[in-house]
Amino acid sequence: MKYEIPFNKPSVVGKEIDWVLESIAEGHISGDGPFTKRAERKLQDELGIERVLLTTSCTHALEMSAMLLELQPGDEVIVPSFTFVSTANAFVGRGVKPIFVDVRPDTLNLDEKRLEEAISPRCKAIVLVHYAGVACEMDAIMEIADRHGLVVIEDNAHGLYAKYRGKYLGTFGAMATQSFHETKNFTCGEGGALLLQNPELIQRAEIIREKGTNRARFFRGQVDKYTWVDHGSSYVLADLLAAYLSAQLERRETIQGARSRIWQRYMDSLQGWAGERGIAVPTIPEHCEQSYHLFYMLMPSREQQQQLIAHLRTQSILSVFHYLPLHLSPMGLKHGSAPGGCPVTEDISGRLLRLPFYASLSETEQSRVIESILSFRAQV
Ligand SMILES: Cc1ncc(COP(=O)(O)O)c(C=O)c1O
């Protein structure tokens, strides 16, 4: 079904088409070409991170992080249950057991107060998600990780350019991953990035990303032949896609400006109405600068969530639910465990809905969404 107001719409905001054509004209559409270097350098400079490696997806960047950690079957990693499958699947693929921890009821981020009870001697890492691009409580989490000798990996698929106490998300952990999937603020269709600080990890990551070869060193003239030196796969993003992505990153202010206006208008228009009906809107703690990735509402019940989705559908507006609890999924039950239970995840997962949100959403379209919501009458 085609909706007049979809949930997401990919946008062309600047030189995307010109640069894709330029990449073809220059004869370099495969990986690690000029546009890849341009995007990587831009992100490195802006975020203040040692190395950004563009990848084919955030999922693949997470898989690379699992390889870099040299995790063994029987090792454990902590992940929130309220996340996308890849956050856990990347580790399960290496025989690692995901230990699911519940989220906070306000930000829907990994609950730092529930972390320590989940840490066993086999635990090697905490993989956290900054849900909707609103930061996890990084001071507390980093302190716990340091005390237990655990590596922190930030799945920052939602949170490019968001900050926690003035510091960019993706720069706290030993590794972080980004997504440039069509639904993200900055996109090239499918794409991602791995963010690294440590020189040894950087060197190995270049190899893992290039099918286990030292090809990156060969291209830099550091070795005269390249060969198979480690595990790896094909994780390099095509320069054709990096051209599209570079053009989007170039228009950071335009995209983020539009998204922040849309988010704020949803908030201003819906907060009061929602409050009177026991519907929650996003919580943004004062010390967090969000990325304006999602606008969601938490309905009082699953029935009302379904009713509102159906109501909006009758107006040709698409609103969507989000993650199902991973600890209750067939794979989560088979490979993982949730020692303390995840009651918050189970509660919110069936009540959440996300509203149409993309940089080119016009004021008129957004008014239609808002008016449709304000005219919703729950049948209880
Ligand atoms: C938190 C989170 N991590 C990872 C991913 C996977 O991203 P990708 O599609 O780039 O592999 C998603 C996808 O939406 C996500 O929401």
CATH of the domain at 295: 3.90.1150.10
State residue 311's pLDDT score: 98
From the CA of 192, how far away is ligand 1's center (Å)?
Answer: 9
State residue 26's pLDDT score: 96
Q: Is the CB of 181 under 6 A from ligand 1?
A: yes
Among 186, 218, 250, residue at a domain's last position: 250
State residue 118's pLDDT score: 98
Among 230, 250, 270, residue at a domain's last position: 250
Average pLDDT, the chain: 97
Instruction: Specify the ligand 1 atom closest to the Cα of 183.
Output: 14
- Are residue 241 and residue 299 in the same domain, yes or no? no
Q: Is the CB of 156 under 6 A from ligand 1?
A: no
Q: Tell me how many domains the chain contains.
A: 2
- Are residue 272 and residue 191 in the same domain, yes or no? no
State residue 225's pLDDT score: 87
Q: In what order do the strands lie in the sheet with 192-196?
A: 51-55, 192-196, 175-179, 151-155, 123-129, 76-80, 97-101
CB 197 within 8 A of CB 50: yes
- Are residue 98 and residue 177 in the same domain, yes or no? yes
CB 103 within 8 A of CB 82: yes
The Cα–Cα gap between 333 and 298 comes to 26
- Which one, of 326, 291, 2, lies nearest residue 132 by Cα? 291
379, with CB counted inside 10 A (0-12, 13-18, 19+), is exposed
The Cα–Cα gap between 371 and 301 comes to 21
State residue 380's pLDDT score: 72
State residue 379's pLDDT score: 87
- Are residue 268 and residue 305 in the same domain, yes or no? yes
- Are residue 198 and residue 280 in the same domain, yes or no? no
Question: Quick check: is 1 in a domain?
Answer: no
Q: Which of 54, 58, 153, 187 is the best mutation target for the ligand 1 pocket, counting ligand atoms within 8 Å of the beta carbon and taking the most?
A: 58
Question: Quick check: is 6 in a domain?
Answer: no
Question: Quick check: is 264 in a domain?
Answer: yes
From the CA of 225, how far away is ligand 1's center (Å)?
Answer: 35
State residue 295's pLDDT score: 98
State residue 200's pLDDT score: 96
Containing domain of residue 208, as a range?
Answer: 16-250
Question: Quick check: is 137 in a domain?
Answer: yes
Q: Is the CB of 65 under 6 A from ligand 1?
A: no
State residue 11's pLDDT score: 87
- Are residue 214 and residue 309 in the same domain, yes or no? no
Q: Average pLDDT by consecutive 10-residue portion of the chain (380 residues)? A: 95 96 97 97 98 98 97 96 98 96 98 98 98 98 98 98 98 98 98 98 97 91 90 97 98 98 98 98 98 98 98 98 97 97 98 98 98 93
- Are residue 246 and residue 134 in the same domain, yes or no? yes
- Are residue 118 and residue 264 in the same domain, yes or no? no
Reported as a single tens digit per residue, the pLDDT across 142-195 is 999 999 999 999 999 999 999 999 999 999 999 999 999 999 999 999 999 999
Q: Is the CB of 64 under 6 A from ligand 1?
A: no
